[in-house]
């Protein structure tokens, strides 16, 4: 396992524990993660490492920001994706972001079904998406929806990335 994947496992695991406990990811964790990623890239690539770090952090920030604007995840979760992208770099960071968004959606559907709101949640999502494409102003009713700990999905994606790099999960290649 590479040093960068190990660091991502540490930071996402720590953030997931804090998110489970307090429902927030402290900015101290985010700033330490960004600093660690920048330090790793500077150590590996010299001054060019700043560009690799910036590419990874910003390109993983953008998909998360889109989901945040749709009120799918919180701001701390978007920053956590950016931390992971900054540490991993562009290619592996995007892979982790896509895997985390998939796992988060899966966790959300499981939580909705367990709460007995599966069909109602899918109906609200369908009306929201239809409103986006028809030009109507999509309105998401306040106080509705299922809240999950998305940092757990990011940590799960980091575990999948570690398994993929170790060759334990050949189907992830």
* Dist. CA 151–CA 153, nearest whole Å: 5
- Check: CB of residue 56 under 8 Å from CB of residue 93: yes
Average pLDDT, the chain: 85
Per-residue pLDDT for 32 more than 60?
yes
User: What interhelical angle do 75-88 and 150-166 show, nearest 10?
Assistant: 20
Per-residue pLDDT for 70 more than 90?
no
* Dist. CA 16–CA 18, nearest whole Å: 5
Q: What is the tens place of the pLDDT at every residue in 116-164? A: 777 777 777 787 778 778 877 766 666 666 778 889 999 999 999 998 8
* Dist. CA 109–CA 105, nearest whole Å: 6
- Check: CB of residue 152 under 8 Å from CB of residue 23: no
**What confidence category does residue 17 fall into, taking pLDDT thresholds of 50, 70 and 90?**
very high
Q: What is the tens place of the pLDDT at every residue in 82-102? A: 999 999 999 999 999 999 999
pLDDT of amino acid 94? 93
Per-residue pLDDT for 63 more than 90?
no
- Check: CB of residue 89 under 8 Å from CB of residue 41: yes
Q: 7 is written with which tokens?
A: 């660091």
In the chain, DSSP finds a helix count (H) and a strand count (E) of 7, 0
* Dist. CA 23–CA 82, nearest whole Å: 19
Lowest-confidence region among 59-63, 65-69, 94-98, 120-124: 120-124
The values of phi and psi at residue 146, to 5°, are -110, 135
* Predicted model pTM: 0.83
**What confidence category does residue 19 fall into, taking pLDDT thresholds of 50, 70 and 90?**
very high
Give the closest residue to 82 by CA, choosing from 108, 104, 100, 69.
100
């Amino acid at each position: 396992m590479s040093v960068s994947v190990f660091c991502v496992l540490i930071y996402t695991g720590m953030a997931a524990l804090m998110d489970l406990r307090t429902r927030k990811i402290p900015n101290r964790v985010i700033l330490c993660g960004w600093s660690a990623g920048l330090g790793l890239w500077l150590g590996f690539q010299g001054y060019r490492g700043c560009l690799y770090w910036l590419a990874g952090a910003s390109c993983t920030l953008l998909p998360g920001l889109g989901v945040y604007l749709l009120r799918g995840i919180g701001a701390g979760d978007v920053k956590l994706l950016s931390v992971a992208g900054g540490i991993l770099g562009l290619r592996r960071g995007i892979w982790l972001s896509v895997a985390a968004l998939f796992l988060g959606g899966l966790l959300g559907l499981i939580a909705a079904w367990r709460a007995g709101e599966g069909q109602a949640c899918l109906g609200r999502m369908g009306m929201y998406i239809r409103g986006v494409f028809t030009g109507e102003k999509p309105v998401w009713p306040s106080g509705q929806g299922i809240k999950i700990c998305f940092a757990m999905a990011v940590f799960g994606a980091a575990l999948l990335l570690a398994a993929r790099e170790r060759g334990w999960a050949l189907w992830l290649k």
